[in-house]
Amino acid sequence: MKKDLVSIADLAPEQLTELLDLAIELKTKLKQGRTEPLLEGKTLAMIFEKPSLRTRVTFDVGMFQLGGQAVYLGPNDIQLGKRESVADVARNLGCWVDGVMARTFSHQTIVELARNADIPVINGLSDLEHPCQVLAAALSLREKRDSLAGLKVVFVGDGNNVANSLMLLCPRLNMDFVIACPEGYEPNRELTEQARAFAQRQGTTVQILPDPYQAVKGADLIYTDVWASMGQEAEVEERRKVFSPYQVNKRLLGSAKPGCLVTHCLPAHRGEEITDEVLDGPNCIALDEAENRLHIQKAILFTLMK
């Protein structure tokens, strides 16, 4: 059966653990100078509707380190749904390459690619989810804390694609999840219900709170992201006013558990959602997370394309 990574919900807890274990193994081997051509002769098509630094470089380098190659397809190369239907693009790519990674505006584009391609499809980012990003965060947190079970993760800011994926991920790894956000900026309602149902089965919790200082009490990790994502440029000024009380700064960090870690998926708007003092501080693992995009994505690529 074909395997895809469209949503974090596609992965069972044991599959998540296996991915994290494999990523650690691949990272360790790379640090020791040992690489294996696990995907020799394989090709990944990378579809980008949005600009990218981390996603493009880490998938491209990841395929190279695994012995395969990546083909970059930019916004003007395909024009998904305009020059050619998503279904036709998916079917054509299935004739030539061994996998597809897509970074799109609409989540439905990822869904349609996966539905029509007979090769694995990986969600590199959509307006609904960012699964690879939160898996890199989980890997970074596990490296710092060894065990994830029982930890409390707090997302501070907009209920965006990263928040949605993190909310789905935490209960699957036996972590409690809280998001602190203003009214009207909550995570996707359907995904919230899914996450809460899963959390109930796992004995963990998923909460939405308006007060960031209350939310971060007892937190092991505080996660934040930009207040206006790509495609929301017209809302920048309004969002800046609404989210100003949700800045991750030294005062907010002081309300969390001693030694609480902080991360950001990057790029960051310094001085807005997070201060320089925190982003460049000793508790921040944002750069670790950026590095771990490479390793967790290599684990995903091998698992889906081997």
Catalytic amino acids?
103, 130, 133, 225, 265, 293
CB neighbour class for 219 (10 Å; exposed up to 12, middle 13-18, buried from 19): buried
Count of other CB atoms within 10 angstroms of residue 104: 22
Which residues, in sequence order, are CB contacts of 184 under 8 Å at separation 6+? none
Q: How far from chain centre, in Å, is Cα 117?
A: 23
Dihedral sign from CA coordinates of 249, 148, 160, 61: positive
d(CA 298, CA 106): 24
- Amino acid of residue 244: S
What tokens does 104 get?
A: 């799109």
Helix (H, G, I), strand (E, B) or coil at 4: coil
Q: What is the crossing angle of helices 107-116 and 86-96, to 10°?
A: 50
d(CA 16, CA 135): 8
- Residue holding tokens 């790029």? 267
Q: For residues 46 and 93, is the Cβ–Cβ distance under 8 A?
A: no
